[in-house]
Amino acid sequence: MQPQTHYVIVAFETSMVPFPDFNLPPPYTYEVRQYERTSLDQIPERIRDADIVTLSVLPLRAEVLDAAVSPRLKMVAVVASGTDSVDKEACRSRGIVVSNTPHCNARSVAEHTIALYFDARRSLTLTHSLIRAGQWIERKSLAKSLAGPDGKPPRTCQSETVGIIGYGAVGKTIESIAKNLGMKTLISGRKGQSTAEGRTPFDTVIRESSVIILCLPQNPDTVNLISEPEFDAMKPYAIVINVSRAGVMSEEALVAALKARKIAGAAVDVHSKEPAGPEDSPLFAPDTAELNLIATPHTAWVAEDTNRNYQRSLVENISSWLTMGHPKFQVV
């Protein structure tokens, strides 16, 4: 049998990151079938002829990774850092390679995180909503709307202690920006484990930080890492920001903590169900309208530089897999 040299690539989500135009090293060639979006019920038809698929957040579960549904599939190229949307055990059992594109969005996510910090600390979104609702005229002043549960005005950067939970590329970039703003930083150790040199115990980070930033992977050990006990232990002027995955922090516990004025504010870019809205998320229920809670629609990664980085890493992964037998950034 002649070795395969021509590959069918199916790009499931080009609305997220456009599929790049590139040449494979000889003798390899490819054809690409591009779809702006793919729903779950469209996957079986679109994956049937694929040798390689690309995706960002589309769930790829065991049933569509079965040989009866995707008989030709050899590689799943994830255009994102996180690969929790892919059933990696199903891939491993069939010898399907899984790659990701780490570090590509680190600068964008870090800058978005700092923007969320300023929004939450200065109550920008909250006071904007109050102005639109006519509250500035009615109350005469909205200055007190910026106060935290301790009744004090917002802190400035030089008074902040930022606890960073997750110290990959995003965490390191956040640390650099925070230090340049005059903030003190603490790098958290793992919850319930001995603390490595240079790290601060998890419980200490929760108790001592005025800003807590979540930028860690979601896995069985990190689900609900931040829930009611952690909120109870935080300072009343704490701000919590989640730019990792929704599952690392309980949305219900977050809303309860804000309503009870246990913390000063929060910001999230990730949601337990996406797209999210008032019908299916506790963050957008009617009684959260006047909380100091900012939500963005999983867009922290969006930037021109991010797209270029993603495209370059995707091409490197596919080319390396064909020529070296493994992608540059291999997960499975």
The pTM of the full predicted model, rounded to 2 decimals, is 0.91
Pairing mode, if any, of strands 6-11 and 211-214? Answer: unpaired
Q: Which CATH superfamily is domain 6-104+304-324 in?
A: NAD(P)-binding Rossmann-like Domain (3.40.50.720)
User: So what's the pLDDT on residue 134?
Assistant: 97
Q: What share of the chain is helix, strand, coil (3-state, %, to 5)?
A: 35, 15, 45
User: Which candidate, 246, 242, 256, 241, places its Cα nearest to that of 287?
Assistant: 256
Residue 228 catalytic? no
Write out the two tokens for 327: 């992608």
Q: If you write DSSP's letter for every residue of 115-129 in order, what string do you get?
A: HHHHHHHHTHHHHHH
User: So what's the pLDDT on residue 138?
Assistant: 97
Element counts in the chain: helices (H) and strands (E): 11, 11
* The domains spanning 6-104+304-324 and 106-295 adopt the same CATH topology: yes
User: So what's the pLDDT on residue 288?
Assistant: 96
Write out the two tokens for 136: 């500035």
Catalytic residue, candidates 46, 112, 121, 298: 298
DSSP 97: E
Residue 107 catalytic? no
**If one looks up domain 106-295 in CATH, what number appears?**
3.40.50.720
* Segments making up each domain of the chain, as ranges: 6-104+304-324, 106-295
Q: If you write DSSP's letter for every residue of 233-271 in order, what string do you get?
A: HS-TT-EEEE-S-GGGB-HHHHHHHHHTTSSSEEEES--
Catalogue the E-assigned strands of 136-286: 161-165, 184-187, 211-214, 239-242, 265-268
13 close to 57: Cβ distance less than 8 angstroms = yes
Give the 3-state secondary structure of residue 85: coil
User: So what's the pLDDT on residue 139?
Assistant: 96
Residue 13 catalytic? no
Sheet with strand 6-11: strands edge to edge: 29-34, 6-11, 52-55, 75-78, 97-99
Catalytic residue, candidates 46, 112, 121, 245: 245
Phi then psi dihedrals of residue 87, to 5 deg: -75, 95
Q: Which helix (H) or strand (E) holds 208?
A: helix 202-208
219 close to 248: Cβ distance less than 8 angstroms = no
Catalytic residue, candidates 274, 279, 308, 312: 274
For each of the chain's 332 residues, which pLDDT tens digit applies? 789 999 999 999 999 999 999 999 999 999 999 999 999 999 999 999 999 999 999 999 999 999 999 999 999 999 998 898 999 999 999 999 999 999 999 999 999 999 999 999 999 999 999 999 999 999 999 999 999 999 999 999 999 999 999 999 999 999 999 999 999 999 999 999 988 899 999 999 999 999 999 999 998 999 999 999 999 999 999 999 999 999 999 999 999 999 999 999 999 999 999 999 999 999 999 999 999 999 999 999 999 999 999 999 999 999 999 999 999 999 99
Region of residue 186 (phi > 0: left; psi between -120 and 50: alpha; otherwise: beta): beta
